[in-house]
């Protein structure tokens, strides 16, 4: 299977375009707005401290 590298615009939260970034099509889901919103929420939760670390 061929790996494709489409170009997408890289934007900040205020929608200012800073450039282009190559994203592998099999990893594009990570860069969707919905997934990034979840990443931001998780980062905020971790920073606020309501998390528990478990050892494997």
Average pLDDT for residues 35-44, to the nearest whole number? 93
Whether residue 55 lies inside any domain: the answer is no
User: Please, which residues have CB within 8 angstroms of residue 17's CB and are 6 or more apart in sequence?
Assistant: 9, 10, 11
Whether residue 54 lies inside any domain: the answer is no
Residue 56 confidence (pLDDT):
79
Whether residue 28 lies inside any domain: the answer is yes
Q: Phi and psi of 19, rounded to 5°?
A: 160, -170
Whether residue 44 lies inside any domain: the answer is yes
Give burial (CB, 10 Å; 0-12/13-18/19+) of 3.
exposed
Distance (Å, whole) CA 54 – CA 20: 38
pLDDT tens figures, 10-29: 555 555 555 667 778 888 88
- When divided into structural domains, the chain yields a total of 1
Q: Which domain holds residue 14?
A: 7-48
Residue 39 confidence (pLDDT):
94
Provide the whole-model pTM: 0.54
Q: Give the confidence band of 5 by pLDDT, cuts at 50, 70, 90.
A: low
Whether residue 40 lies inside any domain: the answer is yes
């Amino acid at each position: 299977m061929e790996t494709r590298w489409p170009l997408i615009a890289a934007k900040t939260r205020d929608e200012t375009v800073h450039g282009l970034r190559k994203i592998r099509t099999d990893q594009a889901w990570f860069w969707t707005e919905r997934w990034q919103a979840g990443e931001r929420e998780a980062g905020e939760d971790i920073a606020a401290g309501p998390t528990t670390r478990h050892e494997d």
